[in-house]
Amino acid sequence: MRKMVEDQVNIDGLPPVREPTPPLPPSSPVPKRKSSNDAIFQPYKDEPAPYEDDGPSHDDILLQQRQMMDADQDTHLDRLSHSIRNQHDISLQINEELEVHTGLLEALDHELDSTGDRLSRARRRLDHVARGARDNGSAVAIGVLIFVLLILIIVFKT
């Protein structure tokens, strides 16, 4: 419609109308065909054609396996390190407990030594008294009888 008006009237300030361009057909890659002559006239080679594969090469596979093994080994080493640290902490705690118990045993040993010394002194005193009683048994018996006699005299006289 604008085209019809444009021919007759020139409108200022409006851009000219463009013709629509036809859409391009979608581009698809055209496979390259080998001619029958290419297969027939290939030069002779002593080595076989290299195996072309889009997958990883043998070296890439070995490298990947090596990396996986290294990662597994690192994981195992980390676990081992953690276990060793735990064992170290436990051994330090055991050492502290042993030091405490050693101190307690030394104090108990000292107490036992002093108690043993006191018991041996008391035994010596008892042995001395027993020896004295055996040696002076008749004198002690006479002394006890005199004491009993005095008590009886006092009781009957009063």
Structure confidence by residue, pLDDT tens digits, 26-51: 555 555 555 555 557 777 777 766 66
pLDDT at 58: 86
What number is the average pLDDT over the span 4-17?
55
Report the alpha-carbon distance of residue 103 to residue 109 in Å, rounded: 10
**87 Cα distance to chain centroid:** 9
50-90 pLDDT tens trace: 665 567 788 889 999 999 999 999 999 999 999 999 999 99
Q: Which tens digit of pLDDT belongs to each residue from 121-155?
A: 999 999 998 887 778 878 878 888 999 999 999 99
CA angle 103, 108, 110 (to 5 degrees): 95
Q: Please, what's the b/e burial string for 71-81 (b: 16 or more CB within 10 A of its CB; e: otherwise)?
A: eeeeeeeeeee
